[in-house]
Amino acid sequence: MNASDRLIVALDVAGPDEARDLISRIGNRAGVWKIGLELLFTGGAELARELAGDGQKVFVDAKLLDIPNTVERATANIAALGAAFLTVHGHDIKTMEAAMRGRAGSDLKLLAVTVLTSLDAADLEQQGSRMDPAELVLHRATLRRESGFDGVIASGHEAAEIRQATGSDFLIVTPGIRPAGSAAGDQARVMTPAKAIAAGADYLVVGRPITQADDPAAAAAAIAAEIDTALSA
Ligand code: C5P
């Protein structure tokens, strides 16, 4: 994989036309297009099928969490779109095993959402967890061993520990990426592209620093260059 292949652009835009426009501007400076909850309900599923049919890598960020029967059937439908990646909340093994059954026979890779990068220790306490984000991420990352998931979504702050606990065949996909000097927005556990790669992330998820840049192609190219430098360091 080259540096651009590791860059996932979060297409958090109003509709498929805006998404297609961004994709054509960014081109091969990024390797994966992430369709999340905002776009999924304004034509994103059809766009996912179209992009996958064109040979593009599509990440459906549906963050599934429901009873096993529903998760299994939703996962099978997302696999049938031709998606390359799907997120499932990694809170419990029943949900994850259901997703594994749903993707059977497809190439869909399953990623467990550990702890959202917008949450900090105070938010987890409010949810009733006595663990801090790093402990809870690590705890949930180890559920993967039982379920057979391909990897996790985790912030750069936890990537090194996860890598140590899980080994090299495990995908770490890191959102909350902010190039030096850019606004954190609603993200709490942010990191620069270079630091996240150095910490062990395989893929970086970047939304607003690219999609809201005056020149999204230049922003994507700059992040890919930073990934490249970090990989060769
Ligand atoms: O704009 P920004 O770079 O903050 O976008 C990050 C993207 O990654 C969003 O699409 C968000 O839904 C997603 N994400 C996240 N934290 C997670 C999982 C996914 O920020 N734990």
Catalytic residue selected from 34, 63, 94, 109: 63
Radius of gyration of the chain from its Cα atoms, rounded to whole angstroms? 17
Whether 23 has a pLDDT exceeding 90, the answer reads: yes
Ligand 1, atom nearest to 37 Cα: 12
Residue 163 corresponds to which amino acid? R
Say what the pTM is: 0.94
Tell me the sheet residues that pair with 191. 177
63 is catalytic: yes
Whole-number Å distance between alpha carbons of 53 and 51: 5
Tens of pLDDT, residue by residue over 34-61, are 999 999 999 999 999 999 999 999 999 9
CB 145 within 8 A of CB 203: no
At residue 5, the pLDDT reads 98
Instruction: Evaluate if residue 20 carries a pLDDT over 80.
Output: yes
Ligand 1 within 6 A of CB of 10: yes
Q: Looking at the DSSP assignment, which residues form a beta bridge with residue 89?
A: 113
| Paired residues of 203 in beta bridges | 173
Length of the chain: 233
SS3 135: helix
Which of 7, 9, 12, 174 gets mutated to test ligand 1 (max ligand atoms within 8 A of its CB)?
12
CB atoms within 10 A of CB 46: 11
What is the pLDDT at residue 35? 98
User: Is residue 193 a contact partner of residue 182, using CB atoms and an 8 Å limit?
Assistant: no
| Enclosing domain of residue 153 | 4-232
Q: What is the H or E stretch that residue 62 is in?
A: strand 57-64
Q: For the chain, give the mean pLDDT.
A: 94
CATH for 147? 3.20.20.70
Give the span between the Cα atoms of 161 and 69, in whole angstroms: 33
Tens of pLDDT, residue by residue over 102-161, are 999 999 999 999 888 888 999 999 999 999 888 998 888 887 767 889 999 998 988 998
Please give the tally of structural domains in the chain.
1
How far, in Å, from the CA of 111 to the mean position of ligand 1?
13
Torsions phi, psi of 134, nearest 5? -65, -45
